[in-house]
Amino acid sequence: MIGSLRELGLKTLALVSTGLVSLFTLLALAALAVAPMLAHGGQLAYLSNCGGQWDIYLLDTAHSRSVNVTRSAVNENAFIWSPEGQQLGFLFYTGALQNIYALTIPGGQPRPTTLELDTWLDGLVQPTPVRGDWSRDHTRRVYELADELYIMDRGVSRQLTDNTYTDASPSWSPDERQIAFASSRDGSLDIYVMNSDGSNVERLTNDAARDSSPAWSPDGREIAFTSLRNGNAEIYLMDTRGQNMRRLTANTCWDDRAAWRPGP
C-alpha cells in the first residue's frame, strides 16, 4: 500500500507546479488515505529520512505499521502534537526562513499557520535549549543543557543532574512524577528513569549501542525510544521496568524522536 502511494505521489507531482503548498497538499492526500487504517490508540509520530529527506511518520504500535504523513521535498526539523492529539504541528526552513505548518490527523492537509493562530504551537518554537518536554499544563519544562538536565518551573530554573557524563532527551511520565532520559553515566548511552526531583535513578536499558530519545506512553505503561542496537536508528518499545522490549521499525533509514499521540 505504501509503495503504491509513493508512485501515486510521484505521478501527481509530474502534473502540477512545484509550489510549496501544492507540494504538501497533493502528497499528503495520498499519505493520509492510509491514516484512518491505523488503530485509534497506541499511535506515535516520529522523524525518519526513509523518503530521502526528514519526514514525519505515524506509527501504529500494536501492528508496527507506519505511514508518512508529510511526504514532502523539504526536511521537517521538529514537530509537536496538539494537546487533544488531533493535530501535528511541524516546522521546516527554506533558507533562513522558518515555516510553521499544522496537519489534522487523519484526513487533513498541511496548512501554513502562526503562533497567533495556533497557540499550542508555542512548545514547538523554542529558543535553545531545544530538546525537552513540557508538562501538561505547560507551566514546567524539563530540558537538557550542556549534558545536564534542568527543570524550568514558571520561569525559575532548577538543575536535576550534575556529573561529568551526558544526560539528555528528558521525557515526563504522564503523572509527571518521573522523568525518562538518556545517559552515558555507566558507559554507553542508555535509558534511565528518575523521580522528578532527580532522586532514585534507575537504569532501564543496558546495551553497547546508543539508546536515546525516550518517550513515555500516555497510559504510563510503556516507553518508546531510539536505539542503534541493530546497526541503524530504529524505534523500540519496552515497559517501564525495561522489560518486554520489541522493535517497532525495521528499515535502513534513521528513525528518531518518537512522540506519543495524546489520549487515554
Select the more confidently predicted residue: 136 or 36.
136
Q: What is the pTM of this model?
A: 0.84
Cell of 6: 509513493
* CA pseudo-torsion sign 249, 252, 253, 257: positive
Range from 6-10, 40-44, 121-125, 207-211 carrying the lowest mean pLDDT: 6-10
Q: Mean of the pLDDT values across residues 172-196?
A: 97
The architecture (CATH level 2) of 127-264 comes to: 6 Propeller (2.120)
> Tens of pLDDT along 36-59?
444 445 999 999 999 899 999 999
Report domain extents, the chain. 1-125, 127-264
Query: Exposure string (b/e) for 10-43, b if CB count within 10 Å is 16 or more?
Result: eeeeeeeeeebeebbebbbbbbbebbeebeeebb
For the chain, the average pLDDT equals 85
Percent of the chain predicted with pLDDT > 70? 82
Q: Mean of the pLDDT values across residues 121-135?
A: 76
Residue 145 has pLDDT above 90, yes or no: yes
pLDDT at 32: 41
* Cβ-based neighbours of 128, under 8 Å, separated by 6 or more: none
Range from 14-23, 43-52, 124-133 carrying the lowest mean pLDDT: 14-23
pLDDT at 199: 97
Q: Which helix (H) or strand (E) holds 30?
A: helix 20-32
Q: Report in angstroms the alpha-carbon separations of 204 from 44, 184, 224.
A: 21, 13, 12
Q: Mean of the pLDDT values across residues 158-183?
A: 97
Task: Provide the pLDDT confidence category of residue 130 given band limits of 50, 70 and 90.
Answer: low
Q: Mean of the pLDDT values across residues 183-200?
A: 97
Q: How far apart (Å, rounded) are the C-alpha atoms in residues 61 and 49?
A: 19
What is the full DSSP assignment across 62-98? TTTEEEES---SS-EEEEEE-TTSSEEEEEEEETTEE
Q: Mean of the pLDDT values across residues 153-174?
A: 95
